[in-house]
Amino acid sequence: MNLNILDFERPIYELESKIEELKNFMKEQNIDLTEEIQLLEDKMVKVSETIYQKLHPWQILQIARHPERPLTSDYIQLICDDFLELHGDRHYGDDQAILGGIGLIEGNPVTIIGHQKGTTTRENLQRNFGMAHPEGYRKALRLMKQAEKFNRPIITFINTPGAYPGIGAEERGQAEAIARNLLEMSELTVPILVYVIGEGGSGGALGIGVGDRIIMFQFSYYSVCTPEACATILWHDTQEAKNASEALRITAKDLLEIGIVDDVLQEPRGGAHRNPVAMAKNLKQSILQNLVHLKTLSKEELIAQRYSKFRNTGQYLDIQINQSNQI
Amino acid sequence: MNLNILDFERPIYELESKIEELKNFMKEQNIDLTEEIQLLEDKMVKVSETIYQKLHPWQILQIARHPERPLTSDYIQLICDDFLELHGDRHYGDDQAILGGIGLIEGNPVTIIGHQKGTTTRENLQRNFGMAHPEGYRKALRLMKQAEKFNRPIITFINTPGAYPGIGAEERGQAEAIARNLLEMSELTVPILVYVIGEGGSGGALGIGVGDRIIMFQFSYYSVCTPEACATILWHDTQEAKNASEALRITAKDLLEIGIVDDVLQEPRGGAHRNPVAMAKNLKQSILQNLVHLKTLSKEELIAQRYSKFRNTGQYLDIQINQSNQI
Amino acid sequence: MFRELFRSKNKYVTVNRDPQYSDRSEHETEKVPEIRERVKVEKEGDHLWTKCKSCQEIIYNKKLAENQMVCPVCDYHFRISARDRINSLLDEDSFIELFSEVTSTNPLNFKGYAEQLEKNQKKTNLRDAVITGRGKLCGTPVALGVMDFGFAGGSMGSAVGEKLTSLIEYAASKRLPLVIISTAGGARMQEGMLSLMQMAKTSAALARYAKAGLLYISVLTDPTSGGVTASYAMLGDINIAEPGALIAFAGPRVIKQTISQELPEGFQTAEFLLEHGMVDRVVHRHELQDELSRILRIHRMVGEVS
Amino acid sequence: MFRELFRSKNKYVTVNRDPQYSDRSEHETEKVPEIRERVKVEKEGDHLWTKCKSCQEIIYNKKLAENQMVCPVCDYHFRISARDRINSLLDEDSFIELFSEVTSTNPLNFKGYAEQLEKNQKKTNLRDAVITGRGKLCGTPVALGVMDFGFAGGSMGSAVGEKLTSLIEYAASKRLPLVIISTAGGARMQEGMLSLMQMAKTSAALARYAKAGLLYISVLTDPTSGGVTASYAMLGDINIAEPGALIAFAGPRVIKQTISQELPEGFQTAEFLLEHGMVDRVVHRHELQDELSRILRIHRMVGEVS
Ligand SMILES: [Zn+2]
Ligand SMILES: [Zn+2]
């Protein structure tokens, strides 16, 4: 049994197994079951669509955190013609929770920076489960400045539960590192594309998340804090996490509506982990399309657009104006 | 007995004591010894001049290292109308071996950065005897960039045996920190005055030593390595340090001749520690004069002049030219 | 609801306005209630005295207020309201509030948020967790933003972000030095991602402000944490902290949970941050005005050779 | 003295010159002696084999040289001469030496220095501790500086500083990517402060080069320490180190003396520096050419949208 099957995926998984079974049976017994298989396959598509069309945010969160969900390194491998990882912040260390480097996508030089989780327990410890220390954010900034110098677009992949909350991280200025990145990224003179590929956890996500386009994968989430933390802090009850995941409006669809993200990238049926190659194809296409558009802008236009983009986030009441309207 | 009297200072010190004695005697016994005292004072001046005019580099080194020699903090106190120390590199720590901040000199805003030794054993441990870690150089750079932003001239005071050779310093990139400063300082768009006030030890000194004017105090030294290290490395004999101090040409006079420094600031008779107030007066005058001149330059001129200044250091043979000349 | 709220409050007789600034209308500054009353509110009770959290001394609230909410015995810095802070720093009657009309709404229809806002507004007599405006500090005009921990734990939602961003832009357009005094639990959860994005918004505004060659002094007070620390509070040309203030990205409770071990003595205090290179100075509240004034003086004279 | 020295050495038949560059005259490249001879010289003896410092294996010098001075058994990277390095990286016959006329003198009349220079020149058949020039790396034109540890411990005096600075300026004027391969004990003591100032001089040149938006790759090899590490060797847009290379500011001996304790395992190795964020990549010598070529390719295409 595959332990990585999520509850709501089970019906699909079971249909898949049955189809597989029939196929094997057909082969072994040399009996034609094509029609039956086709029926089951149709059913599976339908069931899938039904399930994935009305996923609860909590379920989306599960997909975003799925242990088999493709990682930054997977996408890099799938979309780049060539890629060289570059290491280190030149100050303190090389944080493996953030991966960065230079490469070519269809011949276009790019700098790619992303949170990097592990696939094994050992690698996850090494990568700190994608939770970066200040040196991770500073490595990212170094590579972004380098990209700016060489007029290279920047692509970031967000996939972190959050910045690491630990003694060393605080000592070395986690807050300063993130703040500095927000400030500097807002004025980099090259296009920046931000993709939320899995978990978008709070300031730790935003630390590499200021860009000209913020695009979420269909089954990723992006949140001011994890629903678990929200439930604990506001309602002192972790059982409320599921409700928090709804209240916080963390899904791609929600955030597109609210105006936080620019686009949602559709995932293959069942999520990116069921077909990383197809997902990477969507991603690559999105990157190239966006770059072509952004490269038509002058540096001044680019920065001005990026500024307004963030300048205009937020919803508040302007009482003065309301009053004026009423007089 | 004052333990801080250097050997070659002893004749002066003894004459001083005798004069003091006579003065007291005259007072107590009400006998007129004015003439005798005057004679002794004349003699003292003469002896001083003789001694200090022909000091061996090794003796100058002793003065530069004199435990009572005024420190960066002393000069700051004596030359500034107001001064606020600013701390930290915003990355890792606040290195107390380097002191920096902002202040006013005769109403002129300046950023001052200098190596800082201690006066007591405890303070010396805290200040690491003026031997900076990478975070010290990075604090310096942060403050210099800040000065550039606010169009404030920078004054640095060099007084270090060298950058600290330790595990943490290496781990956090001592070499990177110094190299970065050399690169960045060469292009700062504000005037930089560098004063070697005591010890100018190697790369640790140069790390805050790139500027438009490099001015040495008369009894300071500036060297590619300490004479002790040179003796050990080249001749495997620390006893050779005195010879090395001569061979390396580390005195202000030598380095003015060789063209490494732009000016030598005269010290009060017997050295700065015998009259810090007078020394600070010389220093302040030098600072103001140099600033007035440098402020007449455009940013482009300033950087161009600084570049040629360092570009033209070095003495080498150009065989091609020699050959051409001979043909 | 809001109109009522603000009608009921006391007002100054008309105060000086800045006639040049027309991009945004200004609001009359709110009358500062008597100090003792506020102290009582802050102690969440009706006691006339407060027990010092640090030295356990019993201090009369009046005396505490007169001492700028600093314990006269052990120098412990109590939290201070935004209005008291403004009074303690700026020249008398010089403060002109700006952007006071910007107030939080409930964009996500988050359960209980509207009520919470109303409760906090009533409790603090503030519209939101920051007061923004301009004034004179020892004669020097400054743009000033002051957060109030009493309002929803000083959390940053859209309104706080908008007010501060407007202030930063205002300061840039007027070429005024900028002082922001922070105290915050972090981003305001109830506005979700809209809150988080205020970090980017304020930081972007500060980037522009910095590029204009202007001076920003950030003052971090007890407590400053989360998204506020990780944006404008850490981005001062000069960062000043109050003694003993807790300054963090992740708060001590979160860290303790994560690493399951005791935190070092003095961890995340102002002094700890000084030692670790994150703040320039730790300044006693009694000396803050003088310090700011000295820094402003040094920066005002730039370019003038004597 | 110098004329004799250089007359006695073998020369290539006239090689390609760069006709555009006239600021400085160029020198004919020096003939690369047969590899086995050099290996013998480097081993300071006449043995035909070398014992690997790492795995103790006995390796024939010819085999070692064919393997780019890397132990075929354990991959230990032996030091390699500047000429061998150039041959291993650049396309055949593409190298044009520049600034070869710049040679050390004895500006301080330092006891024994003149003799030392002469000895080193004879031993290495080099004029000084660095060879500078231009060439093609997998077809891409580059400016290349390669240090040689065999010449006075690769120390940087006025001549090394001058040659590298000239190279950097040349690369800037031609808009060529720049590769400097370092190995050095540090500044050359016998030239005193003149050596130290080469740190500032080369770094200033790199600042200008960087401002022109050009690519500098620094390759750090065993050993790189002192003033060379603390200037151009650490300032690459991309820093690459060879496996196992000692890279330091203060060498291990100095540190041991200062702190009187054992150093951690692997301290100051290339891998240690990678872990501590100082170098981008640790690259096996056999892959260096390919790596450089890939980096150059990525940087060459800047600005071209497909
Ligand atoms: Zn108390
Ligand atoms: Zn071996």
pLDDT for A79-103, tens place per residue?
999 999 999 999 999 999 999 999 9
Rounded to an integer, what is the distance from CA D189 to the centroid of its chain? 19
Is the predicted pLDDT of residue C257 greater than 80, yes or no? yes
Integer Cα distance of B119 and B276 in angstroms: 15
Please tell me the predicted confidence (pLDDT) of residue C30. Answer: 34
DSSP string, D95-132: -EEESTTEEE--TT--TTHHHHHHHHHHHHS-SSSEEE
pLDDT tens readout for residues D42-70: 444 556 899 999 999 999 999 999 999 99
Q: For residue B89, is pLDDT > 60?
A: yes
pLDDT at residue B320, rounded to an integer:
67
End-to-end CA distance of chain C: 58
Looking at residue C12, what is its pLDDT?
Answer: 29
B318: phi then psi, degrees, rounded to nearest 5: -110, 95
Give mean pLDDT, residues B25-46: 88
Q: Which residue has the tokens 């990568």?
A: A127
Q: Is the pLDDT of residue C225 over 80?
A: yes
Query: Is the bond into C223 cis (omega within 30 degrees of 0)?
Result: yes
Q: Evaluate the CA torsion angle A125, A126, A130, A135 in order and state its sign.
A: positive
- Best CA proximity match to B110, nearest among C279, C299, C213, C291: C299
| pLDDT higher than 90, residue C215 | yes
B91 vs A9, higher pLDDT:
B91
Residue type for B105, please?
I
C 42-81 residues with CB < 8 A to A: none
In chain B, % of residues over pLDDT 70: 97
Position A134 scores a pLDDT of 98
pLDDT of residue A2: 61
**Cα-based distances in Å from B207 to A226, B145, B275:** 45, 15, 29
Q: Is the pLDDT of residue B275 over 50?
A: yes
The confidence score (pLDDT) of residue D294 equals 97
pLDDT for residue B223 is more than 50 = yes
Partner residue facing C305 (CB), from B104, B108, B149: B108
Q: Is the pLDDT of residue B318 over 70?
A: yes
A297 touches chain D (CB under 8 A): no
Name which of D124, D123, D206, D117 is nearest D161 in CA terms. Answer: D206
Backbone torsions φ then ψ of C99, nearest 5 degrees: 60, 25
Q: Among B92, B172, B174, pick the best mutation site for testing chain A contact (most A Cβ within 10 A).
A: B92
> What is the mean pLDDT of each successive set of 10 residues along chain D, which is 306 residues long?
35 32 36 36 62 93 94 96 97 97 96 96 96 97 98 97 98 97 96 98 98 97 98 98 97 88 93 98 98 96 36
Ligand 1 centroid, distance to C282 Cα (angstroms): 18
Is the pLDDT reported for residue B193 higher than 80? yes
The answer to whether the CB of B190 falls within 8 A of the CB of B152 is: yes
Confidence of residue B2 (pLDDT cuts 50, 70, 90): low
Mutate to test the interface with D, among B131, B199, B310, B324 (most CBs of D within 10 A): B310
pLDDT of residue A101: 98
pLDDT over 70 for what percent of chain C? 83
- The reported pLDDT for the residue numbered A321 is 57
CB A130 within 8 A of CB A161: yes
Q: Which of D200, D183, D277, D281 is nearest to D241 (CA)?
A: D281
DSSP structural state of residue A191: -
Are B88 and C279 inside 8 Å of each other by CB? Answer: yes
By C-alpha distance, the chain D residue nearest A291 is D305
Structure tokens at C39: 């102290």
Pairing of strands B192-201, B108-115: unpaired
**Rounded Cα gap, residues A113 and C175, in angstroms:** 36
Identify the pLDDT of residue D260.
Answer: 85
Residue D146 tokens, joined: 């390669």
Residue B104 in contact with partner chain C when CB distance is under 8 A = yes
pLDDT at B300: 98
Give pLDDT tens digits for C153-185: 999 999 999 999 999 999 999 999 999 999 999
Report the distance separating Cα C120 and Cα A145, nearest Å: 43
Residues of A in contact with B91 (CB under 8 A): 91-92, 134, 138, 172-173, 176
pTM score: 0.91
The answer to whether residue D130 neighbours chain B at the CB level (below 8 Å) is: no
Q: Decide: B233 and B26 in contact? Cβ < 8 Å.
A: no
8 A C-beta contact, residue D281 and residue D241: yes
Q: CA D242 to CA D238: how far, in whole Å?
A: 13
